[in-house]
Structure 1
Amino acid sequence: MFEIPSMTEQGPVTILFIMAIPKSDLDVFKGMKNGEEFTCKMSDAVQRFFPHVYKRMDMEKFKLCDENGYPAITSVIRKPYLMVHDKLVVGCGDSVFLNDPITGQGCNLSSFCAEQLYETLIEWKHSKWDGEMGESYWKRTKQYVKEITEWTNAMTGPLPEHVVQLLMQGAQDQDKANEIAQWFADPTTAFEAFFSRMNV
C-alpha cells in the first residue's frame, strides 16, 4: 500500500493506493456498488494487512472525499484494433493497454502508441483503412507493449536477485542510481535490466 498525499476540491487528503495480487486475500475490492461499501472494505483491509497505518487513522473522519473515487483496476492487454461493420476501430493507451500503475508507464505507453498510430495513418493515407492497417499498427506497438508489460508485471512480484543487487548498488553509487531512475523514462532499459541480464 502506498500513502499518497493529495489536494482535492475538498482540501488535502491522503490516497490509500493498494496493489493486490489477483485472487489473493488482499484482492477484496471487486464489484463495489457504492462509496460506503468501499469505505468499509478499505477500513477492514487496512486494519488486517497494514495495522501500523490503521492506528493512525481517525475512523470518525475516514471516508471518501468523492463518492465515485474508488476504482478497482485489473490490468489487461488487448489487440488495439478491430473491425466493426467494415469500419476499422483503433485504440491507444489505457483503452487497450491497461498496465498496473506500479511503474507509472501510462503516459509513456499512451504517447508511444499515439505516435505509432500517427505514423501508421500517414503510411496508409492512400490505402484502405482496414484490418490489415490495424495489424500494421499492432506490429509497430507490440514489442514495446510487451516489454513494458513484462517489466511492470515483474515489479508486482518478488524481484529477481540480480535486480535486488542493482538496487542495493544504487543506494551507494550515483551513476547506478541514475541508471535505475532511467528505467522509468525509458522502460526498455528496465526490461533489459530485468530480463536480458538474467539470460547472460
Structure 2
Amino acid sequence: MTTVGIVGAGIAGLHLGLALRAADVDLTLYADRPPEDLAAAPLLNTVAHHHPLLERERALGVHHWPAAQFGYGAHHHWIGGARFAGRFTHPSCAVDHRLYLPRLAGDLEARGGRIEVRDVGPRDLGALAGRHDLLVIATGRGALSGLFPRRPEHSPHDAPRRLLCAGLYAGIAPAEPAAVTIGVAPGQGELLEIPMMSRHGPVTALLFENVPGGDLAVLNELSPAQDPALFRKTVLDKLREHHPATAERVLDDFALTHPSDLLQGAVTPAVREDFLPLGEDRFALALGDAHVVVDPVMGQGANIASYSAGVVAAGIAADTVYDELFCRRVARSREEVLLGASAWTNLMLDPPPWLDELWRGLAADPRRADTFTDGFDHPDRQWRLLATRRRVRAFLSG
C-alpha cells in the first residue's frame, strides 16, 4: 500500500491529507504542535477562501462554514483614484484559521489519517523518506524554511515589499452589500477589509499592507497589549488619513477584539523548486508556503495552496511510482495557476503607471469590473488579462 508523509498541518497539508484519505491512501501528517493548541494561538492570517477552494471543501466533506451563510459576494475597490465595485459569480468566505485548521485536523483523524506531533528539521527528512513512498513538505517555516532553492526568474524580490499589520476588529459597520473592501493609499500601501467568522462571531479583519518607511509603517511598531489606547488611536488616525472608505463606517465601540487577534510581520515573496532528491530514489515534494509564497495583498496564498494540494493528491492517486518523473509531471500540472498568482501579486505590489488605465476602465464598465473581481477565483486567467499594457487594453476594449 502507498504511504505518504506530510510535514505541515496548515491548509495545504490538511487538504492534501483529506484528499488522500478519500482515495484510501495511507498517510501520516507531521505537525509541530497539537492542532487544538491553535485556538489560543496568535492570529495566523486573514485569508479569504474563494469559490474553487470552497468547491474543494464541498468535495472533501469539510465545508463547515457555508458561503451562503457566512460569505460575501463582492469587492469594493478604491484604487488609483478610481472607485468601483465588482461582483463574484460565486461567493467567497473568510473563517479564522484558528477555528478552521483544528476542525479539519479532527476530520482527518476521523477518516483514518494519523497526526504525529513532532518537530521536523532537515536532518530528519532522510529517515522520514524511508518510512514513506513520498514525502511532501507543506510548511515553509521554522527549520525547514528555505529548504527548496528559489527560482530567481520567478522571484524578483529578496526582501518584503510590505509590512503586514492584520487584526480582527469590532465596531465597523459592514459594507453593503457584504463585501471585501480593497483600498490603495498611493505611496503608503493597501488595506483589505474582510468580513470574517471568528471565535467572537462575525468580525471585521483589517489587513494593512504598509510600505516600509512610509507613514503607515508605525502600525508595525505598536503593541496593543502594552498600550491599547495608543494602538487604537493610531489605527483610527491612519484609517481616517489614508483609508477613508473604511474610516467612514467606524463606530464608537471600534476596538481590536483581543491582543492575540493581531499579526504583525512581513513575507518575502518567492517561488521555489518543486522537489528535492533525498537519496535512494526518494523525493521531497514542495507544497504550500514551502513552494510558493505570495504577499497576501491579493488574497491568493491559501487558495493556491489548496489548489496545489488537489493537484498533488490527484497525481498520487493516479500513479504508483513517486520518482523524479512523477515530481516533474506534478510540477507541470500546477505551474500555470501558481506562477499566475505569484506574478499577478507581484505586479500589484509594484504597479506600473499604465495600470491606471485599468482602474479607470473598470470604474467606467461594471461588467468588466465583475470580470476582474471573478479573477480572484482564477489567478492564471487574471494574469493573462493583466500581464502587459497591451493585454490590459485588449481586455478593456473587449
TM-score, normalisation: structure 1: 0.68
Following the alignment from structure 1 to structure 2, what is the Cα–Cα distance between the partners of residues 39 and 76?
34
Alignment of 1:33-182 (within 5 A): 36=225, 43=232, 46=235, 49-52=238-241, 53=247, 62-65=255-258, 67=260, 69-70=262-263, 72-74=265-267, 75-84=269-278, 86=280, 87-122=282-317, 124-125=319-320, 127=321, 129-158=322-351, 160-161=353-354, 163-182=355-374
SS of the aligned residue for 1:2 comes to strand
Q: Which has the higher contact order (CA 8 A, sep 6+)?
A: 2
Give, in angstroms, the shift of residue 173 of structure 1.
Answer: 2.6
Question: Cα distance, 1:154 vs. partner?
Answer: 1.2
Displacement of 1:134 in angstroms is: 2.8
- CA RMSD of the aligned region, Å? 3.9
Count of aligned positions: 193
The structure carrying a bigger helix percent of its residues is 1
User: Hey, what does 1:190 align to over in structure 2?
Assistant: 382
In structure 2, give the amino acid aligned to 1:149: S
TM-score by length of 2: 0.39
What percentage of aligned pairs have identical amino acids? 20
Distance 1:137 1:38 in 2: 49
Structure 1 residues 37 and 133 mapped into 2: Cα distance closer, same or farther (>3 Å)? farther
The residue number in structure 2 matching 1:9 is 199
Give, as a single letter, the amino acid of the residue that structure 2 aligns with 1:104.
G
Q: Which string of whole-angstrom CA distances, capped at 9 and with x for unpartnered residues, describes residues 38-79 of structure 1?
A: 9689558636744545xx6879x7445252642534133332
Q: Secondary structure at the match of 1:79?
A: coil
Between the aligned partners of 1:149 and 1:196, the Cα distance in structure 2 is 15
Structure 2 unaligned segments of length 5 or more: list them.
1-190, 242-246, 394-398
Query: For the residues of structure 2 that align with 1:90 and 1:99, how far apart are their CA atoms?
Result: 19
1:38 & 1:150 partners in 2: Cα distance?
A: 39
Change in CA separation of 1:29 and 1:137 when aligned onto 2, cut-off 3 Å: farther
Gaps of 5+ in 1: none
Relative to total residues, which structure has the larger strand share, 1 or 2? 2
Q: Structure 1's 40 and 188: CA in aligned 2 closer, same or farther, altered over 3 A?
A: farther
Q: Distance in 1 between matches of 2:232 and 2:377?
A: 35
